[in-house]
Amino acid sequence: MAGTGADLITPLISSPPSDQPELILSVDDRPGFESFSDHCSSNGTNGDHTQPESDNPFEFLGSGGFSVPGTPTVDPFRNHTPKIDGVYEWFKILVCVPIAAIRLVLFGLCLLIGYLATKFALQGWKDKQNPMPKWRCRVMWVTRICSRCILFCFGYHWIRRRGRPASRETAPIVVSNHVSYIEPIFFFYELFPTIVASESHDSLPFVGTIIRAMQVIYVNRFSQSSRKQAVNEIKKKASCERYPRVLLFPEGTTTNGRVIISFQLGAFIPGYPIQPVVVRYPHIHFDQSWGHISLGRLMFRMFTQFHNFMEVEYLPVISPLENKKENAVHFAKRTSHAIATALNVVQTSHSYGDLMLLTRASQSKQEKPSSYMVEMARVESSFHLSTLEAVDFLDTFLSMNPDPSGCVKIHDFFRVLRLKPCYLSEKIFGFIDVDKSGRVTFKQFLFGSAHVMKQPLFRQACELAFAECDSDGDLYISEQELGDSIRPVIPDLNEDEWQLQIQEVFNLFDTDKDGRVSKDDFSNCLRRYPLLIALFSPSLLHKVSQRPGIRMQEETV
């Protein structure tokens, strides 16, 4: 089943969050004090620049290896009818083209009337920190009726409902699965709720004005402070009965409705009762989901259908467990399970991050872009790796020219990481080639890189590696200093080959291209290519063996 697979078997200890870690060198012989040098000593180093006998080139960081879960076979973002197939569909489109033209005119007219009514309702309203006055809400009924007419234009002539919306006092928060742009229009007409939306929606023509009238809660999904502020706003508006109920789509993006992906926790942190709602789009010929398909194509297909089916089912209210303190994660799991059960679909660990990876792979013309999804919710929980970091790793992987199956061979891996074939570089590749096939997938590359980068001693090793390279103490690394540091891991080369090799590695670390490697350059490069920390393992092991009393630890300042 999708979403299953072996979990990581190596315990991962997250470093304390800090923007500016301070490196402290001290002599400390206390028993049980774990440090970088303790790991080095336990590996049996004796001061020589020889490779450890282990096949794990990152053992000096405390790594015990990693495993990669199986790739899910389900694509939650795939629209199953992206192209027009079959005589019936072509015949229906030809017949409906004149009808589509009429629908398009009515759609534009309804949108314009709704926009003007909304502008009138918002005119002169400056106290937007408080609930909208009742007379303005009554004006918004014009826009709500227009939204129902818009649904009619899209072919939703009737909508089947099951169950009833709970009162606002019973369930101040409503959550729903998210399949298309149709659900927000429907709920706007049905409930006129306060919604949580991306900040980018505010700039949309017409739509931005209408959602502002819904007293929208804006959130930047990539900003922790913005997400925290959004949760506070949800608490505020859910606790005050003068506000409308709050509507959230906890999946954070649209899917094809055949799975339920991981839920964001914003709706569940406040701890108020929640009413789940299930939306279905029964179909045979035309999949109405807004998956990996353009908005224009989806709208055209909707306009050229005789009728589009939609079902809305209001499920029983789910309340936080009172007999024990229930955290938001468990509350979200119970709610997602209820929705998945009602839909009779599976749950996966995909998230919006997987859609970003899928989109980036499609933009680079990969033949199987869905193979680049990694179930980002699992990656985030296991490695505390952000979506933006995962996208950066994907860009690196794509620069290795993966084959049509999405795999990279060893020579392309060496080319991008500026490695020459040698004992150490082959061990680095073998470390992420977990199935020993001679090729690596993006998931293997991502899991291996994240595993190394999130080792508790990784940042300490980067600090010490920079200090070891900076032999003259001027806080910059020259090309000669970098060459002297990594010379032990480079195979014997003639002088011209050696100069070319060092120049390539130096250019990789010189991220701002100013002819020297600063501490920020060095750190940025190793965050982008964490596997390269193995290049400095001989010098690190040698330094620690020469100064066995050195202990390293990180403090947050």
Chain segment 65-86, per-residue pLDDT in tens:
888 988 778 899 998 888 888 8
How far apart are alpha carbons 47 and 27 in whole angstroms? 19
Q: Does position 307 have pLDDT exceeding 60, yes or no? A: yes
Q: Does position 178 have pLDDT exceeding 80, yes or no? A: yes
For helices 458-469 and 519-528, angle between their N-to-C axes, nearest 10 degrees: 140
pLDDT at 2: 42
pLDDT at 539: 64
DSSP for 274-300 reads: EEEEEEE---SS-----SSS-HHHHHH
Task: Compute CA distances 65 → 8, 409, 465, whole Å.
Answer: 9, 21, 22
Partners of 27 in the β-ladder = 550
247, exposed or middle or buried, with CB in 10 Å at 0-12, 13-18, 19+?
Answer: buried
67: left (phi over 0), alpha (psi -120 to 50) or beta: beta
Q: Does position 104 have pLDDT exceeding 50, yes or no? A: yes
116, exposed or middle or buried, with CB in 10 Å at 0-12, 13-18, 19+?
Answer: middle
User: Measuring CA to CA, which residue among 191, 73, 213, 70 is closest to residue 139?
Assistant: 213
Q: How high is the mean pLDDT of the chain?
A: 84
User: Measuring CA to CA, which residue among 108, 107, 190 is closest to residue 141?
Assistant: 190
User: Phi and psi (nearest 5°) for 526?
Assistant: -75, -25
Q: Does position 50 have pLDDT exceeding 60, yes or no? A: no
Look at residue 202 and give its three-state secondary structure: helix
Strand residues in 387-433 grouped as ranges (E) = 407-409
pLDDT bucket at 208, cuts 50 / 70 / 90: confident
Q: Does position 88 have pLDDT exceeding 90, yes or no? A: no
Contacts (Cβ under 8 Å, ≥6 apart) of 72:
2, 3, 4, 5, 348, 350, 373, 375
DSSP for 290-339 reads: -SSS-HHHHHHHHHTSS----EEEEPPPB---SSS---HHHHHHHHHHHH
How far apart are alpha carbons 17 and 128 in whole angstroms? 36
How far apart are alpha carbons 415 and 413 in whole angstroms? 5
pLDDT at 26: 40
Task: Compute CA distances 35 → 30, 436, 456, 535, whole Å.
Answer: 11, 32, 10, 20
User: Measuring CA to CA, which residue among 365, 175, 181, 199 is closest to residue 251?
Assistant: 175
pLDDT at 32: 36
Q: What b/e sequence results for 379-392 when a residue is b if at least 16 CB atoms lie within 10 Å of its CB, and e otherwise? A: bbebbebebebbee
pLDDT at 420: 81
pLDDT at 323: 63
Look at residue 197 and give its three-state secondary structure: strand
Average pLDDT over residues 219-225: 85
The dihedral built from the CA positions of residue 505, 470, 518 and 555, taken in this order, carries a sign that is: positive
Task: Compute CA distances 511 → 15, 498, 526, 527, 557, whole Å.
Answer: 25, 21, 11, 12, 26
Q: What is the pLDDT of residues 429-462, one digit of tens each?
A: 999 999 899 999 999 999 999 999 988 889 888 9
User: Measuring CA to CA, which residue among 323, 534, 463, 513 is closest to residue 21?
Assistant: 463
Contacts (Cβ under 8 Å, ≥6 apart) of 206:
111, 112, 114, 115
Gyration radius of the chain over CA positions: 28
Q: At which residue do the structure tokens 């993966």 appear?
A: 402
pLDDT at 305: 92
Q: At which residue do the structure tokens 């989901």 appear?
A: 289
How far apart are alpha carbons 416 and 529 in whole angstroms? 10
Q: Does position 250 have pLDDT exceeding 90, yes or no? A: yes
User: Phi and psi (nearest 5°) for 366?
Assistant: -75, 140
Q: Does position 366 have pLDDT exceeding 80, yes or no? A: yes
How far apart are alpha carbons 60 and 37 in whole angstroms? 9
User: Measuring CA to CA, which residue among 136, 104, 105, 133 is closest to residue 118?
Assistant: 136
Segment (H or E) for 209: helix 207-213
Contact predicate 290/254, CB 8 Å: yes
How far apart are alpha carbons 470 and 517 in whole angstroms? 10
> What is the percentage of the chain residues whose pLDDT exceeds 70?
85
Segment (H or E) for 346: strand 346-347
Q: Does position 39 have pLDDT exceeding 90, yes or no? A: no
How far apart are alpha carbons 90 and 308 in whole angstroms? 16
DSSP for 98-127 reads: HHHHHHHHHHHHHHHHHHHHHHHHHTT---
Task: Compute CA distances 367 → 264, 361, 440, whole Å.
Answer: 30, 9, 17
Query: How many other β-carbons are positioned within 10 Å of the β-carbon of residue 511?
Result: 16
pLDDT at 494: 66
